[in-house]
Structure 1
Amino acid sequence: MFEFNDVKGNQVFLSFKQASFSIEARHVLVICRFQEKWLLTNHSVRGLEFPGGKVEDQENINETAFREVYEETGGIVQSLTFIGEYFIEDVDLGPFVKAIFFAHIDKLDVKADYMETGGPVLISDDILAKLPNPEFSFIMQDEVVLRALAKVKELGLI
Structure 2
Amino acid sequence: MFKINFYDLNTIEDSKLLFAVIMTRYKNQWIYVRHKDRQTLEIPGGHREENENINDTASRELFEETGATRFNMTPVCVYSVERDENINYTESYGQLFYSEVEELDSCLQFEISEIKLADNIPGDLTYPLIQPFLHKRVLEFLKEQ
Structure-1-length-normalised TM-score: 0.75
1:136 to 110, 115, 125: 125
Contact 2:19 2:93 in 1 (8 A): yes
Q: Aligned to 2:94, which of 87, 98, 121?
A: 98
What is the number of equivalent residue pairs in this alignment?
A: 139
Identity %: 24
Cα offsets for 1:85-139 (capped at 9, x unmatched): 1122235793211100001112111225331x2132112x2x14x4xx2x22225
Select between 32-41 and 143-152 the one with higher mean Cα deviation.
Answer: 143-152
Please tell me whether residue 21 in structure 1 is matched to residue 17 in structure 2. no
Give the alignment partner of residue 120 of structure 1, picking from 106, 115, 131. 115
1:87 to 60, 80, 83: 80
Relative to structure 1, is the Cα distance of residues 93 and 77 closer, same or farther in structure 2, using a 3 angstrom cutoff? farther
The residue correspondences of 1:39-50 to structure 2 (distance < 5 A) are: 39-43=31-35, 44-45=37-38, 47-50=40-43
User: Is residue 84–residue 101 contact of structure 1 (8 Å, CA) maintained in 2?
Assistant: yes
Is the contact between residue 74 and residue 114 of structure 1 (CA under 8 Å) also seen in structure 2?
Answer: no
Asked if the contact 1:80–1:102 (Cα under 8 Å) also holds between the matched residues in 2, the reply is: yes
Higher relative contact order (CA 8 A, sep 6+): 2
Change (3 A) 1:119 1:13: same
2:142 pairs, out of 125, 133, 152, with 152
Q: CA deviation at 1:77?
A: 4.2
Q: Which runs of 5+ in 1 are unaligned?
A: 1-8
Q: Which residue of the partner structure matches residue 27 of structure 2?
A: 35
| SS of aligned partner of 1:105 | strand
Q: Structure 1: how far apart are the matches of 2:101 and 2:131?
A: 23
CA contact (8 A) 2:47 2:57 kept: yes
- RMSD of aligned C-alpha atoms? 2.3
TM-score (ref. length: structure 2): 0.81
